[in-house]
Amino acid sequence: MDLLVVGSGFFGLTIAERAASAGRRVTVIDRRPHIGGNAYSEDDPDTGIEVHRYGAHLFHTSTPAVWEYVNRFTAFTPYVHRVYTTHRGVVYPLPISLGTINQFFQAAYTPDQARALVREQAGEFDPQRAANLEERAIGLIGRPLYEAFIRDYTAKQWQTDPKDLPAEVISRLPVRYSYDNRYFNDTWEGLPVDGYTAWLERMADHPRIEVRLETDFFDRTQPLHKQAVVGQVPVVYTGPLDRYFDEAEGELSWRTLDFARDVLETGDFQGTSVMNYADADVPYTRIHEFRHFHPERADRYPRDRTVIVREYSRFATREDEPYYPVAAPADRARVLAYRERASLEPDVHFGGRLGTYQYLDMHMAIGSALSMWQNRLA
């Protein structure tokens, strides 16, 4: 073995695939019983509809090198992601756009009029100088729209004062003064034609890649555990940053999700793939209806049944899957201490969403793995 990769998500598999293609022998371990990390998907046993087990995953990128790379393993459908939100019993388009603004204010503003209105309502903060999520959001869309669509959803998603959340979290969502309601601004987007798992398996399908599942890096009873390999062989580690160091600098805070799945006796529950719930009195943040991600499979999917998943967010305990880095002020100091420790580890390279404690999308995880391979490992 020339390289050990801990974690078979997109970061780990990209490193493994690049290294194997360059002639290295790679072992990938993952503590879960399947590869693919959080992008893993499977056919729902009752309906045959593809369900993303760890929450809906939409691929999008504007980076040519990433788009070229991912197309080696899968083709993409022309799916364009659109999200709606329900606020006080009325459905609005997201992200905040002219459609949302006119519906909310019961008006017919032109783009210039809507801009002028929002500028007036947003005057208290300059979004460029915003120190946190609340200031950035109010600076971008003004207080009334913030209170309707962002404040309570964010409270459910993070249970953290929006003044303590990084401004970048809200910068994920564009604000548009047109009726364009694509959720992403990226050049390319789509879903893998034969599903995420087929894509992930093709990345791992190489004679020089060995995958060992249900193998925990910290389990001393398995031969490739931390104490046995660090310093002996190069390691790429994509598990949680704090866990690698036994939380020596304190625990980093993560959000986890609970998914409540229901099979319903209807061919269409909500008419769209994702419906957000903006209000505090609805305990979940959003409902996914997975059949709508693949309209091209309509003939294969049942006409009289559908599968929906409600998403509930809460703080992760040590037993839970960590999904979202909270990155509140206390975390930011700890992360710096962990990064310092990480830089001292002999030939251990930390990557991915968990390993760097960063809110990375798939294209970012793949892009940073390609860079790590080229700049540090090749």
Structure tokens of 256? 């986890």
Amino acid at 108: A
Q: If you write DSSP's letter for every residue of 112-153 in order, what string do you get? A: HHHHHHHHHHTTT--GGG--SHHHHHHHHH-HHHIIIIIHHH
- The partner in contact with residue 259, picked from ligand FAD, ligand UDP, none with C-beta cut-offs of 5 to 8 angstroms by kind, is none
Query: Could you say whether residue 134 binds ligand FAD (CB under 6 A)?
Result: no
The amino acid that residue 303 corresponds to is: R
Please report which helix (H) or strand (E) contains residue 278, including its range. none
Q: Which residue is nearest to ligand FAD (CB)?
A: 37
Q: Which of 136, 151, 286, 353 is catalytic?
A: 286
**What is the C-alpha R_g of the chain?**
22
Task: Answer with the entry of ligand FAD, ligand UDP, none that 85 interacts with (C-beta below 5 to 8 A by kind).
Answer: ligand UDP
Kindly write out the interface string for residues 96-135 of this chain, putting x where it contacts ligand UDP by CB under 6 A and - elsewhere. Answer: ----------------------------------------
Active site residue 303: no
- Supply 61's token pair: 């990128």
Question: Which stretch, 150-158, 201-209, 224-232, 245-253, contacts ligand UDP (CB under 6 A)?
Answer: 150-158
Looking at 25, 129, 172, 300, which residue is catalytic?
172
Catalytic annotation on 359?
yes
Q: For residues 285 and 281, what is the distance between their CA atoms, to the nearest angstrom?
A: 10
Residue 312 catalytic?
no
The CA dihedral of 184, 185, 188, 189, to the nearest 10 degrees, is 10
In whole angstroms, give the CA distance from residue 329 to residue 315: 16
Is 169 among the residues that bind ligand UDP (CB under 6 A)?
Answer: yes
Angle among Cα 197, 291, 94 to the nearest 5 degrees reads 100
Contacts (CB under 6 A) with ligand UDP, residues 59-78: none
Separation between Cα atoms, residue 311 and residue 321, nearest integer Å: 14
Helices of type H across 40-85: 64-70
Instruction: State how far the Cα of 374 lies from the Cα of 264, in Å rounded to an integer.
Output: 48
In the shown chain, the binding pattern of residues 249 to 278 toward ligand UDP, with x for contact by CB under 6 A and - for none, equals ---------------------------x-x
Minimum distance from residue 356 beta carbon to ligand FAD (Å): 8
Q: Shortest Cβ distance from residue 96 to ligand UDP (Å)?
A: 9
Interface residue list for ligand FAD (CB under 6 A): 6-12, 29-32, 37-39, 54-59, 216-218, 238-239, 257, 323, 352-354, 360-363, 365
Give the active site residues. 172, 176, 255, 286, 311, 359, 361
Interface residue list for ligand UDP (CB under 6 A): 85, 94, 149-150, 153-154, 157, 169-170, 172-173, 276, 278
